[in-house]
Structure 1
Amino acid sequence: MSLTLPVLYGSVRSERQGITLARHVTEALRARGHDAPLIDPIEFRLPLLDKMYKEYKGDAPPVLAELAGIYARADGFVIVSGEYNHGVPPALKNLLDHFLEEYFWRPSAIVSYSAGSFGGVRAAMQLRMTLGELGMPSIPSTFPVPAIGKAFGEDGKPADEKFERRFDKFARELEWYAEALKAKRAEGVPY
């Protein structure tokens, strides 16, 4: 089943290394037959949160209206997050917080990375709380990528030979949850 799975990336640093990971995840999902738009805060240039999308009452900035349209079609979300000072990057938190109902009843999947050996898992654990509160609980598995600076070769391919096998298992889990919740949303939601 083809799904719509936006990939939300959370860094705006000038020398960001996680963008290669976000692009790879996007392409891997597309190769599986899914619509996977990459939501990059550098391209979308969201304002700092003043009002949520819904609070504009039809007069939202065009960038927010565009994202709301993408999110309304989503069957699930993939969040690609670095770890900044043991936490979530501010650009990602800003990207997430502009919306609420657009996320409801859709699963999320966390891909995390860091320069060190833990692969951003501390940020991933904080994201679980935020994503659950936003109405898009994360699937049980996470996909940590340690040593992001060495994780991909010059050709953009993963340096770790187990990467694709690990990602396949992770993607199958997300697909299962996204298909199940899509079917339940079609029947109606609790409120």
Structure 2
Amino acid sequence: MVVAVLLGSVRSDRVGERVAKWVIAELESRGHEAVLVDPMTLKLPLLDRMWKEVKNEKGSEHAELKAKLQPLAELYQRADGFAIVTAEYNHSAPPALVNLIDYFLEEYFYRPSAIVCYSATPFGGVRAAVQLRSLLAEVGMGSIPTLQPVPAAGDALSAEGVPLTQQLAEKSGKFFDEFEWYMRALAAERKRGTPTGTAA
């Protein structure tokens, strides 16, 4: 399976990189191809026009934006699922993550998402995850039932993304098992066709 791992925070002192490294390592240990999508590296402007609105335009006005979005569009078309790594800002998802997600739409359809939320508090970012569920459903990559919170993320993972707590090291299997199940199930159904009458 191919998984796009969307990292939400662009803060200079973010710990989200640790969480994303852990997610990628877990997915790769299960034989999946996990590809990081980092808005800090992409430096996308605030959304003005979506990918579907600029991809066929000629001229240089949107050339830089198209060059950034084209690889993402190609990755998302290959993806079987999306792992969303989100911080919690004011009980909600970071604006950089929302902006990143909003650039696309059809590319997400009939593919599951799995939310890995984190924070510096014992709550592990679950309030952001609850807010995020509605957005993910609306763009067509509804989230699996189980959440994977990472409380006190700076202490729970090393800088290399290695778990430092027994909870994270040993009790996240159900989350990834469930994500795999949804990816396999929806991949099989996409091959058979979708409610829109096309294979996705």
TM-score, normalised to structure 1, is: 0.95
Say whether residues 1:96 and 2:122 are aligned partners: no
Q: Cα distance 1:155–1:136, how it changes in 2: closer, same or farther (>3 A)? A: closer
Q: Which residue identity is paired with 1:135?
A: G
The 1-side partners of 2:154 and 2:174 are apart by: 24
The correspondence for 1:56, drawn from 36, 54, 72, is 54
**Equivalent residue, structure 2, for 1:108:** 113
The 1-side partners of 2:158 and 2:113 are apart by: 28
Q: Which residue identity is paired with 1:13?
A: R
Q: Deviations over 1:142-186 (max 9, x none)?
A: 000111121123664211112133222111100000000000000
The correspondence for 1:46, drawn from 44, 47, 51, is 44
The 2-side partners of 1:177 and 1:154 are apart by: 30
**Equivalent residue, structure 2, for 1:175:** 180
The 2-side partners of 1:158 and 1:6 are apart by: 21
In 1, are the aligned partners of 2:117 and 2:149 still within 8 Å (CA)? yes
**Equivalent residue, structure 1, for 2:70:** 65
Q: Cα distance 1:154–1:65, how it changes in 2: closer, same or farther (>3 A)? A: closer
The 1-side partners of 2:31 and 2:136 are apart by: 25
In the TM superposition, what are the counterparts of 1:9-48 in structure 2 within 5 Å? 9-48=7-46
Q: Which residue identity is paired with 1:92?
A: L
Q: Deviations over 1:100-125 (max 9, x none)?
A: 00000000000000111100000000
The 1-side partners of 2:163 and 2:82 are apart by: 22
Q: Which residue identity is paired with 2:11?
A: R
**Equivalent residue, structure 1, for 2:61:** none
Q: Cα distance 1:36–1:154, how it changes in 2: closer, same or farther (>3 A)? A: closer
Q: Cα distance 1:156–1:182, how it changes in 2: closer, same or farther (>3 A)? A: closer
**Equivalent residue, structure 1, for 2:146:** 141
After the TM superposition, list the runs of 4 or more consecutive aligned residues in structure 1 that deviate by more than 3 angstroms.
153-156
Number of corresponding residues: 189
Q: Cα distance 1:62–1:114, how it changes in 2: closer, same or farther (>3 A)? A: same
What are structure 2's unaligned runs of at least 5 residues? 58-64
Q: Which residue identity is paired with 1:26?
A: I
**Equivalent residue, structure 2, for 1:152:** 157
**Equivalent residue, structure 2, for 1:78:** 83
Determine what percentage of the aligned residue pairs are the same residue. Answer: 54
The 2-side partners of 1:12 and 1:85 are apart by: 15
What's the secondary structure of 1:38's corresponding residue? strand
The 1-side partners of 2:49 and 2:169 are apart by: 40
The 1-side partners of 2:172 and 2:128 are apart by: 19
TM-score, normalised to structure 2, is: 0.91
